Amino acid sequence: MKRIYNNINLEKRNSFGVKQEARTLVEFDTAEELKSYLEEAKPSKWYVLGAGNNTLFTADYDGVLFAPTASSRTILEDDGESVVVRVEAAHDWDEFVAWSVDNGLWGIENLSAIPSSVGAAPVQNIGAYGAEVKDAITAIDYFDVDKMEVVRIKCEECGFGYRESVFKHELRGVAIILAVEFKLHRTPTPNLGYGDVIKEVEARGGATLKNIREAICAIRASKLPDPKVLGNAGSFFKNPIVPRIVAERLLNEYPSMPCYTVPNRDDVMKLAAGWLIDQSGLKGYREGHVGVHDRQALVLVNHGGATGGEMLHFAEFVCSVVKGKFGVEIAPEVNIL
């Protein structure tokens, strides 16, 4: 059933807990309901709001927010070794990860405890601990607002990169994701490239799906604040990718600086934004209602009562301090409206 809300307070619909309003919010279950609203209302400005875990509202939204509500999960194929499953956009991401682990299916266990809806996951190409969601996606169904029809796009057409996808560029303002198709496997393929993950997994008895998920959930819980308690969106900033010559210069000055290779690129390196912020003396730093989390410098938090504008101003301050100390530009990972 289609549900329309006017002048709705978004405080409970965004993980930062900012009290902005939207002129209109439309919940829809099916593509037909979405199409009927678009044909009738013809909104000139719209945005898709999933679980609200990666969006910062800096002002009242004067357009239409679309909120998908369908959340079913359907197994399409199972050949004994691999399983293809279709998951609708509103399905909670971590519940899907938990289901895959409970059913002995490998491929997304390293993405445990990431707050997101399934529909939002490919937009950012969510990733953690050496894994990215693109590696498990086979296809995506979305509603094309220009064509006014459902379109199916294969993984290789999605333009996936580090926190990037075609949905943030060519299909921005065009596509509303309805469902994502994944291929998961029963053959064990543990991805333990991070030291803290290895340590936690070994402490639990070895690299089983259950142990990996529990280890990653424990690590994230120890570092990241619960948005139900302290407003945040997890990592606020992307890890910057810089020319190799810049990374080597910084390594000469800061030998302990974390630095990572980028697949299929020899000319660049990835730096750790959290380390840069920490070394800039900002971990735990606070201005008014907004601050850098005291355990994870990638996370900006709303201590209560902050506006979206205050959050954005503070983020710009953090970027300027890092740029001043290291000459490196960091950029937000969250969507800013």
Q: Is 27 a catalytic residue?
A: no
Q: Is 235 a catalytic residue?
A: yes
Q: Is 214 a catalytic residue?
A: no
Tens digits of pLDDT across the chain (337 residues): 689 999 999 999 999 999 899 999 999 999 999 999 999 999 999 999 988 888 999 999 999 999 999 999 999 999 999 999 999 999 999 999 999 999 999 999 999 999 899 999 999 999 988 899 999 999 999 999 999 999 999 999 999 988 889 999 999 999 999 999 999 999 999 998 777 889 999 999 999 999 999 999 999 988 888 888 889 888 899 999 999 999 999 999 999 999 888 878 889 999 999 999 999 999 999 999 999 999 999 999 999 989 999 999 999 999 999 999 999 999 998 889 9
CA angle 286, 55, 34 (to 5 degrees): 165
First to last CA, the chain: 27
Percent above pLDDT 90 for the chain: 80
Res 229: pLDDT? 85
Q: Are the C-beta atoms of residues 155 and 137 closer than 8 Å to each other?
A: yes
Query: In angstroms, how far is CA 299 from the centroid of its own chain?
Result: 13
Q: Which of 109, 132, 200, 333 is catalytic?
A: 333
Q: Which of 117, 165, 235, 280 is catalytic?
A: 235
CA angle 332, 309, 123 (to 5 degrees): 35
Q: Which of 73, 163, 186, 286 is catalytic?
A: 163
